[in-house]
Structures are given as structure tokens and as C-alpha cells.
A and B are shown apart, each in its own frame.
Chain A
């Protein structure tokens, strides 16, 4: 026969089980996290707050600061270079998600699904571009697209294709963005390939065998089993693509210095030029704040959107 215990007794027992707060222990925990907290406060939170403050000032960095409120932001949205940079980072983010991620997915799937002796070598080859310093990647990019001596132009000369031989990929505003983007796709996809492969290799072998027994083709297996399983990984990569695009600086700057005109300018390049070349720290800080807010918004949006889908 079951023993009946009054509810109050149960509540009291539960209350007793809650560990007592020990002031010494709390202090110990506080001191343990204090160095990390201080580090974050000094090198992360303070600069963010300071950037917000400077973005409301008119200053060259050398002169006195004059409070101008939101004037720097107002001017930014009339600034041709900033607007071009904004357009380009959004395009870059969009095309990265639309081109780089599917491309990386298919390469990763191919390397995993048709795994053989070459897979590891190919994985290393694909990843190699990702570990090259940006300066080297940019130099290689220039060698491919340069007029007169570039690889593509040389191929055009050899084949007698005048349109290719006289093409100016980096100097023509219509081609410059895509030339840089192609090099970036080559350079950055290696990371996504490795990331996707790592996740794909964790899918139980049984699932693939079951799919094969059911007569599923490789494409069907990729679509119905691998893709849903990589949902979270793809979402992470999409966030990385978007945030990376917002901060984009090195490749476009090294390949084209943001030109011709503002054809390959980005928010990062615009920030650098306003701050370090034009000596306009206030405006540069305002661009920094815009990048920060956009990164934050997109990260929250992408995770919230993904979460709802999961549920």
C-alpha cells in the first residue's frame, strides 16, 4: 500500500535540499571570473561605448571634440562612398549565401559521399586557400585578373579572343566587384567545406545504408537526409557570411583599394578612409556603429528565424 505524505512535508524537504549560499564560495567564483571580466570590459565593452560616444562628435582625432548629435549619421546617408559600401556588403552577403554556401555544401558532400584515398588530399587542397594570408590571396587574384599580363588576359591572347585579351576586370566598375568576389569564393569556401564535412561525417552510417536500401540516389540522400541534418551548421555559416561581409576589408582593399570609383568599396574600407585618411574620426565611428548594429540585428534575425523553423 502506498504511503501518503502531506504536501507540506514534501515542500519542506525540497527546501532543505537547496544548497546554502556560502559567501566565501561566491567570492571565490567572482575572483575567478574577474580577470576575464576586466579584459572584456577594457578591450571590448569600453571601446564599443567609446565608439558610440565618438560617433556623436566632430573630431579629427587631433582637434577638440565638438558634440554634433546624430549629424554624422545624417551625413553618412548622403555620403556616396558609404552608400556604395552599404550596397556592396549586402550584395556580398547575399551572393555569399547564395553561391559560396551551396558550392561548399556540394563539394563537401562529394568528398564525403564519394570518399576515397584522394578525399583527404582534396580536403587539404580546398582548405589551403583559406589559410593563405589575405595579401597572398589578393596578389594571386591580381595575377588572374590583371590587364596586360594577367592569366585570363594571357589566355585570351593565346586563343586570339580579343574581348578577353583586352578585358579590364579590376579596372572596369562592371567587373571589379565580381572579380574580387570570385577570388573571395575561392579563398573562403575552404572553411565552409571543412565545417560541412565535419558535420556530414557525424551522420550515422546506418542512415545512408537505409537510404540506399530504399533506392535513394545520392542527390535524394543529400536533399532528404544530409541537408536537414546540416540545418544548424548552415545557419551558423550564413551568420558568419553575413557578419564577415559587413566587416569586409582586406581582399577588396588589397585588390582594388575599393575602386575604380567606389565600385568595390565596403563599409570597412569606408571606415578606414574616413578615420585614417580623411581624419574624420566621428564619421568613422558612426560607420563602426552601423556595422555593429547591422551585425547584431542580422545575427539575432538569422537565429530567431532558424529557431522558429526548428520548432
Chain B
């Protein structure tokens, strides 16, 4: 009896020690993301993505690390530079930043596995570098005009359908004590979307030509767009203190009905349609074109990945698990919990009318220009935002500012090829 008891105890002990390892996940995927997977509306996709994937594939353990912003970008950059301590997957907007990592040989080519995953072409292009696909972009963002429908109705105005109409609409709004545009330029990047649109409307694919060094950044379309921008700033269309307000302040101006329009990315759809955030009714509109003399069309859209994931070279040994994750990230099941982003996966319905309007703008796009500050070489992106911020200084000479920027581009991207 005594021997039997000892045997039973030994079995129990073995079971206690061995059981966890027997039932443990076979593979662990380390993922670096931006958002904490909590109940906040903005984070629902990431929360459900991890929980859903874990439930569907219990043999693959997810080790998700939320690094915030700019923590994610800084840590990824440092790790990529050293080449060690890389995660298997990291969140990225794609473009030239991801391309830099790919050029350094730190990313894992998943072209064969991901090229047939259903999704928008623009989203796939954002995660493609030099013909190779390194990840997926389940959500895409486009820039457009968030307009306060109530304000426009009260003052019997219509959201401009041509750029020429902006002056009339903005002057009327100003005379009624309403700030025409919310911006938040203290943070330096928020003014970019409008400048990109104006440049496109003046010069069509001028930005693509400039990045290919076929056109200078101080050429006509860039200067004209900057001059018009500065003219609007001087007229007070962006309020009296545009450089003192951050992006959060701009959102508050819209949420409280103090500003009539906000030209920004569709990632704001969830917040602007959340009754707890604002009691105003907003609409999303495509950026207009010039009635005469312009080149760009309304189907030329500015935007880029909203949420994307790319795989690093260390994921090569876990290829199956990584591909499963990427495909799951692009599934209707994973994407449907997001309340406001434009989903690049077919079959996911927009949760709000704002998202539906933004999705329609995205669907109408014939060309999508990626955010310059994500798509140009990193050596010129922060000076680009500095240059655009300088338009907000009334005494600034935009021509001179763009010429300085062009000089920097020559140094980092080469001279314009005739």
C-alpha cells in the first residue's frame, strides 16, 4: 500500500511538472504594437485581434508588447539598427520607414503567402517595398474634410466643392465668429494633409515626380500651394493661435462646434461620431479641386496605412504561425470590432455614417499618395514638417523655406534629373 501511495504521489508530481509543458503553446509570436489592448474604442481591434487569434490558434502564443507612440517607432528603429532583439512582427505604416528596414535585410519576405490575401490594392502597396510584400494593412486612412453639418446649415453654407469656394465660405464663417479650420499645428504634422492636397490640385503628381527627383520641391506647384496656404493662415482661417494648439486642441475645437472644418485623416471617424466625445453632427467630404487652372482631380486621394503589421527576419523560423497571424489580422472576424477606421478587408461593414462616407471617398480613389512624412526618406521627413510649420509664421518666406528644403533633398535624395 505504501509503495502504491508513493507511486501515486510520484505520478502527481510528474503531472504537475510536465503538464504545463505538454499543453503549452508550441510557438510564441512576439508582436510589438502601438496600442494597449484595452476597452478604449481606438484599441478594440488590437484587443480582439489578440484575443480572437489566441482562441482560434491555442497552440500559438502571442506575446504582445504595447509600446505607444513614439515608443514603438524609436524602439523598432534602435532594434533594427542593432539587428538583434527583433520581434517576430511589428506594427508599421509601411512606406519608406519599413522600406529602410527591408533594405537593411531585417524583414521577412511574405510575397508568395500574402499576395492573394483579399484586401485593397492601396493597402497592399503600402506594405510592399521594391516588389516584395512584408506584411498586411487591415486598416487604411484617407484625408478629407470633416465638416460640422450643423454650422454649415445654420449659416446656409455648403461644404466647398471647389477650392475657389473656400474663401467665400471661410470669410462668412469668420464673420459669424466661427473658426473655419481646426488644425493643431503645434504638433507639426497635422498641416501636412492640406498641403499635400493643395500641391496635388495645383500640380497633379508633382509629389511623385519630386520624390523621383524629376521635379524640385521649390517648383511651381509646391510654391503656389504654400502661398495659398499662408494666405489662408494670414486671413485667420486657422484661428488666432494655430501654432499654440496641438492636435488634441483641434479635436476639441471641432467637438465643441468652435471650428467648422478639420482636414485630417479618417482615423478620426470613430471619435467624431462618438456622442460621448461630441454633440455635433459631422460629415466627411473629399477634398475639392480647382474650378479652373488645376491639374489634380477629386479622385487623387492622400492617405496611408492606419494599422499595419510587418514580419521581421526572425519570423522565418515561425513562418506558418506568422502567416496565420497576418491572414487572421486581415479577416472579417478580426476587423469587425473596430468602430471607425476604413477597413481594407472586403465584407467589413462601416460602423458609422462618417466611416461609410470616408470609405466611399477611399473607394472613389484613382490614385493614393502616401503621407510624405512616411514615404519620403526619413532624413527629410521631419525637416518637411518643419518647413510646412514655417508657413504659419506670417513673416516667413515660403519660397525661401521650400528652397532650403530642396537643398536638403538634394543632399539626401540627389539632384533633380533633367
Contacts and interface: CB of A to CB of B under 8 A. Distances in A.
A260 B393 contact: yes
Contacts of B59: none
B411 to A, nearest CB: 8
Contacts, number: 92
Interface class of chain B by DSSP: helix
Interface residues of A, number: 30
A80 interface: yes
B228 interface: no
Interface string B388-405: 011011001000000010
Contact of A276 (B74, B103, B241, B389): B74
B215 to A, nearest CB: 22
Contacts of A261: 386, 389-390, 393, 396
A210 to B, nearest CB: 55
A273 interface: yes
A304 interface: no
B378 A60 contact: yes
A279 interface: yes
A229 B185 CA distance: 50
A172 B244 CA distance: 7
Given A62-B80, A261-B390, A261-B393, A278 B382 contact: yes
Contacts of A262: 386
Given A60-B100, A171-B186, A259-B243, A279 B378 contact: yes
A192 to B, nearest CB: 30
Contacts of A80: 404
A260 B104 contact: no
B87 interface: no
B186 A279 contact: no
Contact of A171 (B101, B241, B380, B390): B241
Given A148-B245, A276-B74, A166 B240 contact: yes
Contacts of A147: 240-241, 244-245, 249
B78, B241, B243, B244: residue with the most chain A Cβ atoms closer than 10 Å: B244
Contacts of B70: 276
Interface in A273-293: 273, 276-281
20 contacts: A60-B379, A61-B78, A62-B100, A63-B103, A80-B404, A145-B244, A147-B249, A148-B241, A148-B245, A148-B249, A148-B253, A168-B241, A170-B244, A171-B242, A172-B243, A172-B244, A256-B186, A260-B389, A278-B382, A279-B77
Given A145-B244, A171-B245, 19 more contacts: A60-B379, A61-B77, A62-B104, A63-B103, A81-B383, A81-B386, A147-B245, A168-B240, A169-B244, A170-B243, A171-B186, A172-B244, A260-B392, A277-B382, A278-B379, A278-B380, A279-B100, A280-B379, A281-B81
